[in-house]
Amino acid sequence: MNNDGKPTLEAIASLCKRRGFIFQSSEIYGGINGFWDYGPLGCELKRNIREAWWRDVVRNRDDVVGLDAAIIMHPRVWEASGHVGGFQDPMVDCRACKKRFKADNLCEEQGLKLAKTETGFALPAGVVCPACGAAELTEPRAFNLMFESYAGPVQDESAKVYLRPETAQGIFVQFGNVMDTARVKVPFGIAQIGKAFRNEINPRNFTFRSREFEQMELEYFVRPGTDAQWHAYWVQERMKWYEAIGLPASRLRQYVYRPDELAHYASACVDVMYDFPFGSQELEGIAARGDFDLRRHQE
Ligand SMILES: [Zn+2]
């Protein structure tokens, strides 16, 4: 409990373990940071949420179809999507205790702001290591968040592949096949549920920032010029859905992105936020991405 009597995230994590919902992965070997196992009750709960989403977003609509794409795709998918060059977090190392941190979080926690430079990022003066207190941090360096592996027996650059960091790209690269075979016409959507992987520098906040996670993704394709109206429609639909599965409206909020917070290709973005006892956290993001993704895969 906090001083104000609200349960902390730690208290909830320990309750989840005692009741058989969520265990630390590989716990008998000391655990592995950023990975979680769903126990007997947890996997039923997760399955219920997944099935409710699939029923309401795919089966009960005649304008959405499903897809189940492979986790490993051609590496050029991730070059086109911008993930090979751009899916990076600035990180710093502590020279004293050798721990590694996300530079933006680190600055934020100390009431400072990470500065952008022409070539990357620069730490503001006065930032110290949160673990040991030393003012001996390296300059921020880009760290790609994609897990890498090799397809086939030869482990060289030409065989390098990535575990997908998001489920969206599988949808974009199969857009043409789905259009040709599923008798769908714009506006329509393609949905997918599946695992995604991000090699987070500091996994934390229980299952909120983990290295392996499951996403439920809908990409809804609309005619140019109708983006704003469809975006508003989906924000309303999604808010209604959370209430329909039992989340109280009083704890649901929308976070509307300011223009300077949007990705360069997006015209609008709203996060659905839920007021947990330990603070507000994002349940999902709803973005109007324009034709950025489909265009990139045609170039
Ligand atoms: Zn340190």
Q: Considering the domain boundaries, does residue 4 fall inside one? A: no
Report yes or no on 156 lying in a domain.
yes
Q: Say whether both 117 and 242 belong to one domain.
A: no
pLDDT band (50, 70, 90) for residue 278: confident
Tell the residue number behind the tokens 């996060």, with chain if given.
Answer: 271
Residues 240 and 273 occupy one common structural domain: yes
Residues 51 and 123 in one domain: no
Residues 271 and 158 in one domain: yes
Which one of 124, 144, 164 terminates a domain? 144
Token pair belonging to 149: 């592996």
CA of 136 to the centre of ligand 1 (A): 7
Positive or negative, the Cα torsion across 207, 210, 214, 219? positive
CATH number at residue 252: 3.30.930.10
For 48-70, the pLDDT digits (tens) are: 999 999 999 999 999 999 999 99
> What's the first-to-final CA gap in the chain, in angstroms?
54
Among the residue ranges 8-17, 55-64, 67-76, 110-119, the one predicted with the least confidence is 110-119
Whether 78 is covered by a domain: the verdict is no
Shared domain check, 132 and 165: no
Q: What is the mean pLDDT of residues 110-138?
A: 88
Cα 70 to Cα 21, 75, 211, 238, 298: the distances in Å are 27, 13, 18, 26, 20
Which of 41-45, 121-125, 128-132, 174-178 has the lowest average pLDDT?
A: 121-125
| Residue 83 in domain | no
Q: How far apart are alpha carbons 290 and 295 in whole angstroms?
A: 9
Ligand 1 center to 138 CA (angstroms): 11
Distance of CA 281 to the CA centre of its chain: 12
Average pLDDT over residues 279-298: 93
Domain tally, the chain: 2
Q: How far is CA 48 from CA 14, 45, 205, in A?
A: 22, 5, 23
Whether the predicted pLDDT of 43 surpasses 80: yes
The reported pLDDT for the residue numbered 202 is 83
pLDDT tier at 2, thresholds 50, 70, 90: low
> How large is the greatest C-alpha to C-alpha distance in the chain, in angstroms?
62
Q: Of 144, 160, 185, which closes a domain?
A: 144
Residue 272 CB neighbours (<10 A): 19
The C-alpha atoms of residue 42 and residue 19 are separated, in whole angstroms, by 9
Do residue 61 and residue 181 come from a single domain?
yes
Residue ranges near ligand 1 (ion) with Cβ within 5 Å = 94, 96-97, 129, 131-132, 134
Q: What is the pLDDT of residues 160-178, one digit of tens each?
A: 999 999 999 999 999 999 9
Give the per-residue pLDDT at 265: 85
Find the CATH number of the domain harbouring 120: 2.20.28
**One domain, residues 68 and 164:** yes
The pLDDT value recorded for residue 1 is 56
User: Do 146 and 78 form a contact (C-beta atoms < 8 A)?
Assistant: yes
d(CA 187, CA 148): 35
**Mean pLDDT, range 76-104, rounded to an integer:** 88
- Mark which of 100, 121, 144 sits at the end of a domain: 144
C-alpha to C-alpha distances, 21 to 28, 39, 121, 212, 275, nearest whole angstrom: 17, 5, 40, 17, 21
Q: Which residues contact 82 (CB under 8 A, 6 or more apart)?
A: 296
DSSP alpha helix (H) spans, 63-192: 75-80, 83-86, 103-109, 168-173, 175-181
Q: So what's the pLDDT on residue 143?
A: 84
CA of 112 to the centre of ligand 1 (A): 18
Buried b (16+ CB within 10 A) or exposed e, 77-103: bbebbebbeebebbbbbbeeeeeebbb
Residue 167, classed as helix, strand or coil, is: coil
Indicate if 242 and 276 belong to the same structural domain.
yes
Ligand 1 centroid–CA 279 distance in Å is 27
Same domain for 92 and 191, yes or no, is no
Separation of CA 101 and ligand 1 centre (Å): 10
d(Cα 94, Cα 90) in Å, to the nearest integer?
Answer: 14
Structural domain includes residue 239: yes
Residue 188: which domain range?
A: 9-73+152-296
Q: What is the mean pLDDT of residues 143-161?
A: 93
**Spacing, Cα 203 to ligand 1 middle (Å):** 17
**Partners of 209 in beta bridges:** 204
Per-residue model confidence as pLDDT tens digits over 185-202: 999 999 999 999 999 988
> Average pLDDT of 247-260?
96
The verdict on 242 and 288 lying in the same domain is yes
Quote the pLDDT of residue 75: 95
Q: How would you classify the pairing of strands 64-66 and 188-197? A: parallel
Residue 204 and residue 266 in one domain: yes
Q: Are residues 103 and 65 both part of a single domain? A: no
* 80 falls within a domain: no
d(CA 104, CA 121): 9
What average pLDDT does the chain have?
93
Residue 185 placed within a domain: yes
